[in-house]
Structure 1
């Protein structure tokens, strides 16, 4: 949804395809804790990386992936294993510790995803909650995933 020109509209359209009594789920980038991405990464993405050829970007994205990969494998995962009270103070700890469970290929795909998309929206929990109200879903549950994204689940009446 967050890579479409109208995330809420895409969600409402998708919900319209679900049979009554059926369930819908959505996972979106959260506005909360992602200010560093919207301030620093997004301008690079919108001004440069989303405009270059994907094969070139795939190769160029290996450099930031190296930094992410090394920090998750050498700092975040080990520190979270032996000193969680200290690790919880690390920058973006929940997410980077989670990324540390992935190998190079998955981390590279994640970095590439953040750099390739021409559009990316970061949606607040409050806005995401209105999506569910607008489709009149029941039994809605919204979970903060890794303190940087929102997962929602609900039933279509």
Structure 2
């Protein structure tokens, strides 16, 4: 039996982005590198999975036009970006959307790994990019995420999935508070660089308490999470689809992939 693709909302995402935001510019710039904000300037842009619309706001300031697609949070994103007149918001599943145009730049930041079928989602992203256009994806990696894959995920599925978001928020805050002493002592010295998530926690120290809580909450709240292997990244961004010199498959803080490439003509 084939995968059943979602046509109804997942309330978890609306609740998450009603509480939190994703406005850290340095993170967005890290995730899209080697692309930059300038790659969006005066371009037609498709955002696949806009969440609360924070990245929409960043790109919308320079792009010719932005089409932001999300199945769960489109009303929230539209309200937060009501002053941008070059942004169109569409409620749709990014794996099955059938838009009437292709775009200069298609980007998907932190979303593809939460879709029902990342492979189907990637094919949809690819189809909506113009030949000669650029695709940018940031996604969780299988490599380096063993703790989350084999400990956090089973706990989430068995114990946490049916909890209210309010209780989950309290748990996320408690976990974040518990992490601070370790991250600001043991994880500061390079002597312990062999520890899991050592590079990841460098960013933890750059962010606010609320932003760190949101990262923990995201791990516990997501209805489903897939972890993408290096082999899958290479299969997606191969030389048959993309200009060879443009392909970038880059590990980010050892727990995620930054992927980009120019689609062949």
Alignment partner, residue 107 of structure 1? 212
Whole-Å separation in 1 of the counterparts to 2:126 and 2:161: 29
Alignment partner, residue 233 of structure 2? 128
Question: TM-score, structure 2 length as denominator?
Answer: 0.53
Counting helix residues as a fraction of each chain, which structure ranks higher? 1
Given that residues 143 and 255 in structure 2 are in contact (C-alpha distance below 8 angstroms), is that contact kept between their aligned partners in structure 1?
Answer: yes
Identify the match of residue 56 of structure 1 among 158, 167, 187: 167
Whole-Å separation in 2 of the counterparts to 1:133 and 1:125: 12
CA shift digits 1:17-51 (9 cap, x unpaired): 11221111111111111111111100011223232
- CA RMSD between the two structures: 1.7
Instruction: Give the gaps of 5 or more residues in structure 1.
Output: none
CA shift digits 1:76-114 (9 cap, x unpaired): 24x2xxxx3x14233321111222211201110000000
CA shift digits 1:57-93 (9 cap, x unpaired): 112211111122332234424x2xxxx3x14233321
Instruction: Give the gaps of 5 or more residues in structure 2.
Output: 1-111
Question: TM-score, structure 1 length as denominator?
Answer: 0.87
The one of the two structures with greater contact order (alpha-carbon pairs below 8 A, sep at least 6) is 1
Alignment partner, residue 252 of structure 2? 145
Alignment partner, residue 25 of structure 1? 136
Alignment partner, residue 96 of structure 1? 201
Whole-Å separation in 1 of the counterparts to 2:208 and 2:255: 20
**Number of equivalenced pairs:** 151
How far does residue 135 in structure 1 lie from its aligned partner after superposition? 7.2
Given that residues 187 and 193 in structure 2 are in contact (C-alpha distance below 8 angstroms), is that contact kept between their aligned partners in structure 1?
Answer: no
SS in 2 for 1:61: helix
